[in-house]
Structure 1
């Protein structure tokens, strides 16, 4: 009796079926959803008037965040002891980069300033260097977002500086991940406003004063 060399054993067929099912499962995964912290209100360039005085330049440095947050995935609390890293729900860039860009845009919009973090400041103009640290962050669907910020602001010409801390609590309106993002955006907006107030304080000679 002749044997067909092309026939497959039951084990080989089972392995092939397993691989096919895994590939099908991968192919059916839902596409990732991407979010941004940028506020539409801060995206338009600020309109300056002559009464506002000289142009303001800011330098918003990279933002330090807890290690668990330095990733593109959203991180939310599921209960008192567990966190979820959401593979299908992501920031448009790693969270620390997203946070820096949102704060820079927010502060610039409130001051009518130009962010020169990546270059462009005239050599004869002072700038305000802003170093921000996100000291703590906790977010829960259907709960709240709590964010603790700390920052220093330093003038480049006379080295006067100010420092401040701010803890923001924003309710999360629903149980969707988009609701967590919206609450986080509101928290960042509050921080941008407080930082802008700190820059104004330095501009008027009130270095070291914290408005929060």
Structure 2
């Protein structure tokens, strides 16, 4: 097949245009949530056997469980940030951060992130349902979630709670968004930790039905 000089020039221009477009495309930025908790000012005395606490399982709306950071607009529509994405699956990142936060806040307990089967069983598990974890750029970040604390051996729910948190933004950068979302997870972790304190301070009923029959 023969090409004249005009055809070749046209092909070269097209290829050059494509290369220029690729070169001018903005780079994709990747973000990760970070732990925000600090050790408590005072710690309780050491105990012989540390309780085992499992964080998870955790559920996220399908809308949020994706690579792109989800933003809301003033007209209630949704935008996906193609060039600002999570560096790891969001659900895994959130569980890891919550587990690390709670571990710092509960120095007298052993905290494991879901799934923990490789380490054996736990004494309590914190089941978490996050319904909102998004932003409106330049305005706010939002976290809404609920949780229950379940005793593993009896499968009894012994505590529960919910949070609705919002924090203003100083600018419209995604870096600020991620930092503020991490702070909201820190506040959420504190609420979970307070519930765990109440659970762990409760006296366990060692007088079982079997012991009552013996008496």
Q: For this structure pair, what is the TM-score category when the shorter chain's length is used for normalisation?
A: 0.7 to 0.9
SS in 2 for 1:51: coil
The residue that corresponds to 1:86 in the other structure is 81
Indicate the RMSD between aligned Cα atoms, in angstroms. 3.0
Secondary structure (helix, strand or coil) at the match of 1:181 reads helix
| 1:51–1:136 distance in 2 versus 1, CA, 3 Å | same
SS at match of 2:93: helix
Structure 1 position 94, deviation (Å): 2.1
Matches within 5 A, 1:89-100: 89-100=84-95
Match of 1:156 among 138, 152, 155: 152
Distance, in Å, in 2 between the alignment partners of 1:144 and 1:49 is: 34
Moved over 6 A (4+): none
> Cα deviation per residue 1:11-65 (whole Å; 9 max; x = unaligned)?
x6535533442233223323222222122656x9x9x978132323221224211
Distance 1:156 1:59 in 2: 9
Give 1:75's aligned residue: 70
1:184 Cα deviation (Å)?
Answer: 0.9
Structure-2 separation of matches of 1:50 and 1:141: 41
Q: TM-score, normalised by structure 2?
A: 0.78
How do 1:116-131 and structure 2 match up within 5 A?
117=114, 118-119=116-117, 121=119, 126-131=122-127
Report whether the alignment pairs 1:141 with 2:128: no
- Is the 1:152–1:164 Cα contact (8 Å) retained in structure 2? yes
| C-alpha distance in structure 2 between counterparts of 1:174 and 1:8, whole Å | 53
1:73–1:94 CA contact under 8 A, matched in 2: no
Q: Structure 1 unaligned segments of length 5 or more: list them.
A: 208-212
**Distance (Å, rounded) in 1 between the aligned partners of 2:113 and 2:136:** 35
Does the C-alpha gap of structure 1 residues 180 and 8 become closer, same or farther in structure 2, counting only changes over 3 Å?
Answer: same
Task: Tell me how far apart the structure 1 counterparts of residues 147 and 194 of structure 2 sit (CA, whole Å).
Answer: 12
